[in-house]
Homo-oligomer: A and B are copies of this chain.
Amino acid sequence: MAFSSGQIVRFHDIDRAGIVYYPRFFDYIHRTFEDFCDAEVGVPHHKIVDELKIGFPVVHIESEFHHPLQHGDRITVEMTCARLGRSSMTMRYRLFRPGATEPAAEAAITTACVDIADVRPIPIPDLLRAAFQRHLAP
């Protein structure tokens, strides 16, 4: 049910403390959403912006960090849809280190669905809604 994206912790994701700088977790998360658009929506993320003129500004984040990530970790990011509203949604992301059964970090990211021209909320288009629905796990 979850959508999965494999990613690699890179040299420049590491901070002065020798572990992944926590805002980089949101880069892994954003890449996962982009990969989801490609694989599950069938429309690359840049076309969703350019052609469908849709944006997903973040309105709320709740995130927990359990274990640090290290350079070279080949992580798996799992994404499910926790809530699917008319013009907003909450996606849940869980980041796993290689072989781990418990996530290193998890986040619930709530975004609006807006017309990028005027940043007004619009209903989530059917194409996207169907893809989110297939990964719904409230």
Q: Mark A18-48, 1 if CB is under 8 A from B, else 0.
A: 1101111011001100100000000011110
Inter-chain contact B16/A18, CB cutoff 8 Å: yes
Residue pairs across A and B with Cβ atoms less than 8 A apart, 19 shown, are: A8-B34, A11-B15, A11-B21, A11-B45, A12-B21, A12-B30, A16-B49, A17-B55, A22-B57, A23-B23, A23-B26, A23-B27, A46-B71, A59-B64, A61-B61, A61-B64, A61-B65, A62-B63, A63-B63
Hey, which bits of chain A sit against chain B, CB under 8 A?
Answer: 8, 10-12, 14-19, 21-24, 26-27, 30-31, 34, 44-47, 49, 55, 57-66, 68, 70-72, 107, 116, 119
With A46-B71, A47-B72, A70-B46 known as contacts, the answer to whether A17 contacts B58 (CB < 8 A) is: no
